[in-house]
Amino acid sequence: MLPNYRIYGDSGPSVYILHGIFGMLDNWHYAAGILSQHYRVITFDARNHGRSFHHEDAGFDAMCEDLLGLMNHLSDDSPIVVGHSMGGKTAMTFAERHPDRISGLIVVDIAPKAYPAGHGEYFKAFHDIDFARVQSRKEAETLFEPYAPDAGVRQFLLKNLEPGPGGGYQLKINAAALEKYYPELIGDLHLSRGYAGPTLFVRGEKSGYIKDTDMPHILNFFPNAALQTIAGAGHWVHADNPSDFISCISDFIVAHSQS
């Protein structure tokens, strides 16, 4: 089964972009639009996200197979793969499994290591709130506030709501599957061979997801990796400083993409 996808641009080397947990392809609309001036950019909803299919398996193996299936469907042999957060872990796993299918790897604000749980309140909100009874997005935001006090995070999470067939709202995401696989999604990747091809790790200056002390571990599995820091950006690097972020990854794509 193919994930829901969108293609920006119709010429140049291909670039695939993988979003993070609770995200969707729309999160990358601006960056994809800019990159499509020179590249064929493919964004897609990971399984159990956005408008893609729901499945009880929400692990990295399954998400890698989805990416491989989409690349085969679109006849792409050597694209650049960009992955943010959860998507970055999927991209790292894919690069190890299928190094011959990509020409380069860009990992955005995530390392191949375990992270402490930090999404418990959001899962609780998805469980606790009866969205079918919610009459407006304003009401949904008010109900969500105790679980996500930060307004930006709330707006991001509320993108997962859509009007329900019988009134009110319903979730686009498969929260149950994501919660079941959450320990894997935040856990150590347990890489074995890694990926020896060209790799760029990009972090936000204000984010703590990739620390300087992580670089020896990263280089153990990605020996040709470089690290760049985007000024003024947090975890959502592509949204916090899109100009510098796009400039940064464009230089890498120019150097390593194959026509």
Active-site residue (options: 14, 36, 52, 85): 85
235 is catalytic: yes
Looking up tokens 């894919």 gives 94
The residue from 84, 235, 238, 256 that is catalytic is 235
SS3 content of the chain, % helix, strand, coil (to 5): 40, 15, 40
Verify whether residue 85 is a known catalytic residue.
Answer: yes
Q: Kindly compute the dihedral angle of the four CA atoms of residues 124, 170, 88, 193, in this order, to the nearest 10 degrees.
A: 80
* Both tokens assigned to 192: 């074995």
Beta bridge partners of 80: 15, 104
Q: CA 115, CA 185: separation in Å to the nearest integer?
A: 9
Beta-bridge partner residues of 169:
163
- In angstroms, the CA 68 to CA 83 distance is 14
Using CA of residue 45, residue 50, residue 55, residue 56, what is the dihedral sign? positive
Report the chain's C-alpha Rg in angstroms.
18
Active-site residue numbers? 85, 235
